[in-house]
Amino acid sequence: MTDKARVVEPRDIQTKRLTVHTRMTGEDGFPVVFVHGNCSSSAFFETLLSRLPKGLRGIAPDLRGYGDTEPKPIDATRGMRDHSDDVASLMDTLGIQRALFVAHSAGAGVVMQLAIDHPERVAGLVLEAPVSPYGFGGTKDAEGTPCWPDFAGSGGGTANPDFAQRLAKKDRSAESQTSPRNVMNGCYVKPPFKAPNEEALLESVLSTRVGDAHYPGTFEKSPNWPGVAPGTTGMNNSFSPKYFNLSPFASISQKPDVLWIRGADDVIVSDTSLFDFGYLGKLGAIPGWPGEDTYPPQPMILQTRRLFERYAANGGRFQEEVLPDTGHSPHVEKPQEFERLAFPFLLEHAR
């Protein structure tokens, strides 16, 4: 769908909120804003940006705490609004009133929050492996009911401490199951897939700022299983259901079309997520699990589908596409299939 690879230009853009490192393609065309997920950066979109069809202008910021954007702290009590407000401010600085969005994983939570707060600014949404509308961890049914009143099992205390330590040390090895390289190759994609630009993607993962203000954030001790509850700062707390709830998306005043793309074998955002304490408890990987009635695996896919069904009942439109033999990053693992779905959608809604 592209004649030749487009040049991707890195730029540091000073907005009213912070300096945002941004990858960009072209000055003309309808704007498409690409928003990356947790423990990554805009570098995950480098190839996709270079293949963007004519008529579209690519803009891919690094979120605060990732890549080369100014690492201002993340106030998790605002949910993901620090990030969505940063994206809106970047659009303001670039003179963009309305844009299309392509968002991966936690980035989908950012752009859906932006759509709730500024629906008039969203022309269409491509959501790739989107985080549940009720965040990550601590909920037990399609409506996002919390397992415990303090939302234990979500937030900064749920991150693997060895992974976080290796991330902070910028460990490039493959010596441990929890090394960033092995987590990326084992969970971001479906093994045995290895990205041709593996080293660049690993560098992107290692750009994550580690600490209380960023990844994974703070946590509180809890009397409820698994013993940790959300803190108030940092990325993982920003998508704790204590602070993050996208249910208002179903009734926003203007309803952009939604293309939902996910991999059939995603182990991160899944009804059987290997990062969800409910599922890990059921597997016996975390002792003391209180059982299916109290703390079942979080039904992440079901939660997302129910929200979009309510969105459709209120006059919106969504399309769900599931790519077989694909993990958490369809645009990396199956680029041609992803582009075959996403590019026509973007061109159709570039108005």
- pLDDT, one tens digit per residue, over 304-327 is 999 999 999 999 999 999 999 999
Which amino acid is present at 33?
Answer: V
Asked whether residue 1 carries a pLDDT value surpassing 50, the answer given is no
**What pLDDT does 3 receive?**
54
Helices (H) then strands (E): counts for the chain: 11, 12
Work out the average pLDDT over 151-161: 97
Question: What confidence tier does 64 reach under pLDDT thresholds 50, 70, 90?
Answer: very high
Work out the average pLDDT over 45-66: 97
**Backbone angles phi and psi of 90, in degrees to 5:** -60, -45
DSSP state of 187: I
pLDDT tens, position by position, 182-241? 999 999 999 999 999 999 999 999 999 999 999 999 999 999 999 999 999 999 999 999
Work out the average pLDDT over 28-56: 97
pLDDT tens, position by position, 252-298? 999 999 999 999 999 999 999 999 999 999 999 999 999 999 999 99
CA nearest to 197, candidates 189, 76, 79: 189
User: Token pair of 290, please?
Assistant: 């209180």
Q: What CATH superfamily classification does 9-348 receive?
A: Alpha/Beta hydrolase fold, catalytic domain (3.40.50.1820)
**What pLDDT does 139 receive?**
98
Burial class of residue 186 (count of CB atoms within 10 Å of its CB; 0-12, 13-18, 19+): middle
Asked whether residue 24 carries a pLDDT value surpassing 50, the answer given is yes
Work out the average pLDDT over 20-45: 96
**What pLDDT does 26 receive?**
81
**SS3 for 348?**
helix
Secondary structure of 148-184 as H, E, C letters:
CCCCCCCCHHHCCHHHHHHHHCCCCCCCCCCCHHHHH
**What pLDDT does 78 receive?**
98
What pTM, to 2 d.p., does this model score? 0.98
